[in-house]
Amino acid sequence: MWTEVKRVPTLMIAEMWKDLFDGEGIVGYILPDPDYEGVGELRPYRVYVPKEKLHVAQEVLRKI
């Protein structure tokens, strides 16, 4: 099960967060925000991590 950890305004920022989590050993997953009707890279995105790794992702977020 995936858990949302971050909402970001663009795809590029979402990819940066995913890369950060990947670097910490947490598999990240990116999906476009379903509440937004636009298309393309300039729409909001959500970053997800596995539920069992949520505590590790929260610790990474606290360090930043």
Per residue in 10-60, pLDDT tens? 999 999 999 999 999 999 999 999 888 877 778 999 999 999 999 999 999
Whether pTM exceeds 0.75: yes
How far is residue 60's CA from residue 31's CA, in Å, rounded to a whole number? Answer: 20
- Which region holds residue 42: left if phi is over 0, alpha if psi is between -120 and 50, else beta? alpha
- The amino acid at residue 2 is W
How far is residue 46's CA from residue 4's CA, in Å, rounded to a whole number? Answer: 7
Domains and CATH numbers, the chain: 2-63 (3.30.70.790)
Paired with 31 in beta bridges are 46
N-terminal to C-terminal alpha carbon distance within the chain: 25
